[in-house]
Structure 1
Amino acid sequence: MPTDVIHRLLLDNLTTAVILLDAELRLEYMNPAAEMLLAISGQRSHGQFISELFTESPEALQALRQAVDHAHPFTKREALLISTSGNSLTVDYAVTPILDRHNTLLLLEVHPRDRLLRITKEEAQLSKQETTKLLVRGLAHEIKNPLGGIRGAAQLLARELPEEALKDYTNVIIEEADRLRNLVDRMLGSNKLPKLAVTNVHEVLERVCSLVEAESQGLINLVRDYDPSIPDLMIDREQMIQAVLNIVRNAMQAISQQNELRLGRVTLRTRTLRQFTIAHHRHRLVCKVEITDNGPGIPQDLQETIFYPMVSGRPDGTGLGLAITQNIITQHQGLIECESHPGHTAFSIFLPLE
């Protein structure tokens, strides 16, 4: 095999984004990793000026020109690039001048930081989730054991009471013990494994929309933004309906606290993502379900703990909905993230498509 073909194969199969610019800072070549990162085609963009591929600070453009003039390599950390599609990327990149006969080429090696930062955040989230599960399981064991004794003693006492009217008091004890036991069971979440079946994700979302429209009497504005090309997933339909419904109900309740429901808007959006990492496993293709609303947003001090049991931003909230949702998504080998500020809250669910 010729050497130039081997070199091309190596570049095409690198996971690092590689971009080659000529002396005028116009595109000579980019490998598939760079095309994926910038969401552009290398062939169509050939010969375009660098600012037509992505934008950065004027100082960065001047540094590239100096690298051409003086053949001086440099590295830049945590640079913010804005791609032509409008997406912002935080990257590190290294610039290496290459002398080619009478011209100087620039080799850019681009390393995205967003993915690393997200993986670090995901690891911390999963660690917290596992710690919380252990804490809740231990607490549930300590609560349910004495509850069983209290309930049994109340039943025995009811049999010995001389008057039927006095059983109202033992009934209260039994009912409250049952209520606490049910609360603990909900905190623990379901122990049942998902019943996976081939399901269209939009069927799940449409079911959620019909339930929410019925609950809100059609007042809330539900916006669908679906990608119809997404293939069917292997999921538990009922569990996934519950997971999405918990998020949409939270959005609806948050909007109703601040505005009338008719002023609220909840958007359900589906997209596919390539080469996405979930829990150290890189998936070739994932389905992203994003649920956004224009409500007041989640308070900053709650954003790191919203997936914990018994944590709620509402006085009447149980704080179990999002904990249950996270448990369901985790059982499907997926990931859930949240980003929120006043006027915009977005929950993103990532589910492997393999």
Structure 2
Amino acid sequence: MNEKMNEINRFFDMYQKEIIHNWIMRLEQNYPNQYDTATLQEQGERYIILISDIQIPIEEHPIFAEYKEWCDLLFNKGIPIDHILKSSLFFREAFLEKIAVIEVEVSQLAAIISTIITRIDAFQATIYTYFFDHTRGKMELQDKLIEDIHADKLNLIGKMASSMAHEIRNPLTSIKGFLVLIRKSLPLDSLGSIEKYLDIIDNEFRNIEMQVTGFLSFSRKPIADEQRILMPLHEVIEKTLLLVNPLLLNENIELSLRLQDDLQVEVQNLAIIQVFSNLLNNAIDALRETDIHHRKITVLTFADGAHIYIRFINTGPEIPADIQSTLFDPFVTGKSDGTGLGLAICKQIVERNNGTITFETNRKETTFTLRFPALAD
């Protein structure tokens, strides 16, 4: 042990200046004008003391005890972890360059190299752990702040939605009442000629009512707590199409249904119809920007055993890249007259029904995919 320690001390006494010089030179070549040479010189000298005092375990060395303060300084300055790791690599290279020229027995040389490299690795691992833990802590703090901001935003939306829904529901109730009175008051012979218009008004009324229910998804009103029921998936789609068929015809949009038989889902009926309706209306809006001869919406359902899938595919333009990552966030929209709440409401309803919603988009088509758990046999 003493002989090895003496050999290490003689080596560093002879080559310390050159090792530090070569280490600093590598750092400056890779990170020009980013570090102070005098500071690096001082750090290099103390580092050599740390790794060459092999009689003291590295974790017990007085210089090792300063590493937290040193790491704090680097971390707060925003020094990237790869700079730290490269610095260790450069020192290792500078050390090995010089030890290759000393004249000692091979076994003794191997022992020196092994001892010094082990101490370099131990210190590097400590620094890496420090940076990893602090970076993770910083990211967790940032995530918490983002979650708090998002929660505050949803809380505000909830209050707005509750107030807005209340104001809309009052006149809607009156409209519904008068619509019933009109149907009852008109003679049967005259009702037939305008009944189709009354049916359209009735469908649009129900559409608005579902939109109000969607707004309430952001509040804590009991109406948003509709019970989930088991129902055939094709029935949910058919009920939705009753609401959007007039628009499909008016906009000359081809509708293709590729529905797998016997699929059942346990969902909130009105809420999921609201989601389907919203996705179809969004598709119709997108297709208004395309050539009238290339307007197509496909509704596809299938199952893979564990899940049931519903896909709404339209041949409209690609969703703008700058909003794709936040498309389901409140107030994000690609429409000039959009509120940015539709897809946010859809996402919340789908997740409340134990499902997920995702999308894919390109220049040829856009697909929204809903996935719900398949029912156990």
Q: Relative to total residues, which structure has the larger strand share, 1 or 2?
A: 1
Return the TM-score normalized by structure 1.
Answer: 0.46
Q: Relative to total residues, which structure has the larger helix share, 1 or 2?
A: 2
